[in-house]
Amino acid sequence: MDDDDGLVARVAAGDDTALRELFSRHAPWLAARLRAVLPAAEVEDVLQETFLAVWRGADGYRAGGAAGAWLWGIARRQAALLLRRRGPAAAALPDGATAGAPQAADPAEVALARADLTAAVAALGPPGGPEREVWRLLYVEDRPVAEVAALLEVPPGTVKSRAHRARRLLRAALRGGAAEGGSR
Amino acid sequence: MNIDITDLTRRFGRTQAVAGVDLRTGAGVFGLLGPNGAGKTSLLRMMATVLPPTSGRLRLLGRDPGSYGPRREIRRRLGYLPQNLGYYPGFTVAEFVEYFALLKDMPPGQVPRAVAAAVGQVGLGDKARAKLRTLSGGMLRRAGIAQAIVNGPELLLLDEPTAGLDPEQRVAFRALLRDLGQRATVIVSTHLVEDVGAACTEVALMDAGKLVFQGTPDELIARGEGTGAAGDAPLERGYSAVLAAARSTTAAA
Amino acid sequence: MSDMDAGRPPGAPAPWETAPPDVDLSRVWTSVAAEVWRRRPGPLERAAGRLLRSPGLARALVTTPSLLLAWIIATVVVLFAGAGATLATGTPYVALLAPAVAAAGIAYAYGPGIDPAWELSQSMAVSDRIVLLVRALAVFGLNAALGLAASAASGAAAALTFGWLVPMTAACALALAAATLARSAIVGVAAGVAAWVIAVLSGAAAGGQFTTAVTNTALVLPYLAFAACCSAVVLYATRIPRGTS
């Protein structure tokens, strides 16, 4: 069983079975992440364009980098292209996403920013995990520390240290994600 | 009614390969059983418009295959896997399936997707770009099934499709058959009785050019009960019982 | 407690991100595979498809065994070697070679002897007879063109340059009929070449020259009649597919 770097190298050499293996490994989580931003039909189109881009551009991948991040970068770019082609109505933005955003903001950009955020939040751990829960209760639902501590049945100090770690992870993820997405 | 056959016969010189067959069927999976030499392949060839009948009435997909225009229309909606299918060694699986897709007058724009879907459905996704000469017998058979289904046929004729397939592949194939039988008439000619029981909604048994049984698999099983006929499985016993009965009546006649 | 600080690169997948239920990944893969596995026909095939109004027929044409590059090169070599020999010795080799070469090409154009999937081909919407006709015409036309070029290059007289076209038609028709009846390309080649050799030799015996078989205008009608008979045989043989029970 090849690792991801090996698979991408084989794809660059023209091996379509390696592309199939990459697809079965990575398409599920890419679909999940895109689905937060786009309706199902658009997710399918973006995934299709993403893996065709992988097929054509596999020799642009530098081994040792993380294949997953590289794939997400391609997917994000394809999503941006699709939203620009189809118009902002294609994005499945729930009302809350644009609330408070400046009216002049390009909804496509907002959608992609939300996608980046989803990706970054994924770095916090599984849903229901410690950092993720603290993030959700403290920052998304805007509860006070004492209430969060009571809900999670941990001391307030633990809540604060988990929040600190969550912010650090998010900062790293968003910084890295922006670098990845913006570098091409 | 995709197949409407009345008193169909086919003679080769002095041999009667098919000696008066009546058959009417619509969508679903139809199993054609019988010993070697029973005439199954000749019957299938006539339904594939490859062999003209000697006498009788044959209507396929509501058309008469005797004239050129309707025959061409039938062939566009037909999928056929002969018992002996040669292959082009230098072709890849995808090229092989695509070749016959084009010869079935499929619009070229639809062909790549149809080829990809067909190759995937028979489980040859990893071999799509492998040359046919590198494939095993079972894989070649599956490539043959892929070319038969690539044009989404309304009438699918498979002659011994599971030859060379291992048990796991046969299970996958039966699932494929059930799926195809939703929309199309699928005729599977086989001498493997267990293939028939699992996937077919209706079964016919052919012997010496005639249909000696036509009904559901359960009815065939019922024919074998209590007769002490040979066979390890209920369907096999039904098969033997019906054959024995048919031969004794012809012997008595 | 999972180690979240293990420096997972940004954007990297997390194990709990599974495919959403309303996204059909197998359909996505089919679309990707369709593009990856797709064959793009060359310009010759596309032009043939437009001319014949059938992409399937064009594909069948460009996959003709005797129209493959190796075969064409071999034909060119034989004919132009003949032209060279003619320039050297004066004997019009091209006129003598062309019918035999063409007959071999025709026998390897199509038919049960050369098509391993012939039973399947008989069930196609683009009928095997049409494929046979188009391939045979293409092989004949190409051989005629190459032969004419070689003949002109060898500086032969007009009668010799064109005179072998009719005998070539007869030899090709015989090769095709034999190949179709015997279900074997080798038989077709043997029949075509052997018949031509006999024609040349008997022409030489009767008329004193090796080229009699080509230049004797009295033979034109018999050649054409013979070709017509062989064509009728081919039509008959391809109408009723012979099967075994």
The rounded distance, in Å, linking the Cα atoms of A128 and C159 is 94
The rounded distance, in Å, linking the Cα atoms of C186 and C199 is 20
**DSSP 8-state symbol, B101:** H
Confidence category of residue A91, pLDDT binned at 50, 70, 90: low
Residues A97 and A162 in one domain: no
A118 part of a folded domain? no
Among the ranges A129-138, C25-34, C145-154, which has the highest mean pLDDT value?
C25-34
Q: What is the pLDDT of residue B245?
A: 87
Cα–Cα distances (Å) from A119 to A173, B124, C13, in that order, read 8, 35, 8
pLDDT at B130 over 70: yes
The rounded distance, in Å, linking the Cα atoms of A82 and A91 is 10
Q: Which two tokens stand for residue A139?
A: 């920052």
Q: What is the pLDDT of residue A103?
A: 47
Q: How many helices and strands, by DSSP H and E, does chain C display? A: 12, 0
Nearest one of B184, B211, B243, B237 to B21, comparing CA atoms:
B211
B50 and C243 within 8 Å at the Cβ level: the answer is yes
A8 part of a folded domain? yes
* Pair type for strands B155-159 and B78-81: parallel
Residues A2 and A67 in one domain: yes
B203 pairs with which residues across the strands? B31, B215
Q: What is the pLDDT of residue C14?
A: 67
A37-41, B74-78, B136-140, C59-63: least confident range: A37-41
Q: In the predicted model, what is the mean pLDDT of residues A88-96?
A: 53
End-to-end CA separation in angstroms for chain C: 72
Residues A163 and A94 in one domain: no
Distance from CA of B127 to the nearest CA of A (A): 8
Q: What is the pLDDT of residue C2?
A: 41
B32 pairs with which residues across the strands? B189, B204
Q: What is the pLDDT of residue B77?
A: 96
Q: What is the pLDDT of residue A90?
A: 56
Confidence category of residue C1, pLDDT binned at 50, 70, 90: very low
Q: In the predicted model, what is the mean pLDDT of residues C125-154?
A: 88
Residues A132 and A182 in one domain: yes
**For A69, which of C11, C31, C32 is closest by C-beta distance?**
C11
pLDDT at B133 over 90: yes
B3 pairs with which residues across the strands? B25, B60
Instruction: Show residues of chain C in contact with A23, CB under 8 Å.
Output: 25, 28-29, 32
Residues A90 and A149 in one domain: no
As a CATH number, domain B24-51+163-253 is: 3.40.50.300
A148 part of a folded domain? yes
A55 part of a folded domain? yes
Per-residue pLDDT tens digits for B54-73? 999 999 999 999 888 999 99
Per-residue pLDDT tens digits for B17-43? 999 899 999 899 999 998 888 899 999
C121 and B76 within 8 Å at the Cβ level: the answer is no
Residues A13 and A97 in one domain: yes
| Max Cα distance, chain A (Å) | 57
CA angle C6, C11, C16 (to 5 degrees): 75
Instruction: Show residues of chain C in contact with B140, CB under 8 Å.
Output: none
Give me the sheet containing B3-12, strands edge to edge: B15-25, B3-12, B55-60
Q: What is the pLDDT of residue B187?
A: 95
Per-residue pLDDT tens digits for B153-205? 999 999 999 888 888 888 889 889 999 999 899 999 988 877 777 789 999 99
Q: What is the pLDDT of residue C32?
A: 96
The rounded distance, in Å, linking the Cα atoms of B156 and B183 is 11
Distance from CA of A17 to the nearest CA of B (A): 5
Q: Tokens 């004419």 — which residue?
A: C148
Cα–Cα distances (Å) from B72 to B62, B67, B99, in that order, read 13, 9, 17
pLDDT at B49 over 90: yes
pLDDT at B121 over 90: yes
Q: Which two tokens stand for residue B164?
A: 């060379």
Q: In the predicted model, what is the mean pLDDT of residues B11-18?
A: 89
End-to-end CA separation in angstroms for chain B: 34
Distance from CA of B221 to the nearest CA of C (A): 29
A109 part of a folded domain? no
Boundary of a domain, candidates A102, A133, A164: A102
Residues A85 and A13 in one domain: yes
Nearest one of B52, B95, B60, B50 to C119, comparing CA atoms:
B50
Confidence category of residue C243, pLDDT binned at 50, 70, 90: very low
The rounded distance, in Å, linking the Cα atoms of B158 and C183 is 25
| Mean pLDDT (chain A, rounded) | 80
The rounded distance, in Å, linking the Cα atoms of C132 and A10 is 42
Residue B55's Cβ-side half-sphere holds a number of Cα atoms within 13 Å equal to 5
Nearest one of B138, B99, A58 to C36, comparing CA atoms:
A58
Residues A98 and A129 in one domain: no
Residues A74 and A165 in one domain: no
Cα–Cα distances (Å) from B45 to A135, B229, C13, C218, C243, in that order, read 69, 32, 54, 47, 9
pLDDT at C15 over 90: no
pTM: 0.84
A167 part of a folded domain? yes
Confidence category of residue A105, pLDDT binned at 50, 70, 90: low
Instruction: Show residues of chain C in contact with A130, CB under 8 Å.
Output: 1
End-to-end CA separation in angstroms for chain A: 31
Cα–Cα distances (Å) from B33 to A126, B156, B191, in that order, read 56, 16, 6
Residues A15 and A83 in one domain: yes
Among the ranges A64-68, B32-36, B103-107, which has the highest mean pLDDT value?
B103-107
Q: Which two tokens stand for residue B89?
A: 């060694």
Residue ranges matching CATH 3.40.50.300 in chain B: 24-51+163-253
Q: What is the pLDDT of residue B38?
A: 86
C68 contact partners, CB below 8 Å, separation of at least 6? none
One-letter amino acid at B131 equals K
Q: Which two tokens stand for residue A145?
A: 């520390």
Q: What is the pLDDT of residue B221?
A: 87
pLDDT at B125 over 90: yes
Residues A95 and A180 in one domain: no
Instruction: Show residues of chain C in contact with B45, CB under 8 Å.
Output: 119, 243
Residues A36 and A67 in one domain: yes
A43 part of a folded domain? yes
| Mean pLDDT (chain C, rounded) | 83
The rounded distance, in Å, linking the Cα atoms of B19 and B11 is 8
Per-residue pLDDT tens digits for C63-111? 888 888 888 898 888 888 888 888 888 777 888 888 889 888 888 887 6
Residue C97 burial (10 A CB sphere; 0-12, 13-18, 19+) = buried
Q: What is the pLDDT of residue C217?
A: 77
Which residue range(s) make up the domain with A29? 1-102
Among the ranges A64-73, B6-15, B64-73, B107-116, which has the highest mean pLDDT value?
B107-116
The rounded distance, in Å, linking the Cα atoms of A106 and A84 is 10
Q: In the predicted model, what is the mean pLDDT of residues A118-132?
A: 80
Q: What is the pLDDT of residue A97?
A: 47
Q: Tokens 């031969």 — which residue?
A: B247
A90 part of a folded domain? yes
Distance from CA of B26 to the nearest CA of C (A): 21
B100 and C60 within 8 Å at the Cβ level: the answer is no
Q: Which two tokens stand for residue C167?
A: 């005998």
Domain count within chain A: 2
Q: In the predicted model, what is the mean pLDDT of residues C124-147?
A: 90
